[in-house]
Amino acid sequence: MAEKKKNAKMANRNVGVESIKDDGDKYVVVRDGLRVYGGNGVVLAEAVRLATSLVAGAGISRVDADGSLTQGTVNGTGEFIAYEPVAA
């Protein structure tokens, strides 16, 4: 009698998400200065997941209290680091 095939395992979307810290701020995914997804923003881990699921590159920005966006990146410890302006 032939052995039964095992079902394929689904990729776990939450792998590594625990390492991204939730600091209570809201974030958006941006490309070329425009929001990729509508809405008021999501938690940092969700923004990273959305940005990395796009075919073309995208970045992460923090939504500030006045509604403006602060561009930045997520470091190796899972914290948002705002880009510093270049001094002229």
The verdict on pTM exceeding 0.75 is no
Residue recorded with tokens 């997941």: 49
The domain locations on the chain are 24-82
Q: Which tokens in the block code for residue 49?
A: 């997941």
DSSP letter at 14? T
Q: Which tokens in the block code for residue 61?
A: 């920005």
Q: Which tokens in the block code for residue 78?
A: 């899972």
- What is the number of residues in the chain? 88
Q: What is the pLDDT of residue 66?
A: 92
Percent of the chain with pLDDT over 90: 7
Distance CA 37, CA 50 (A): 9
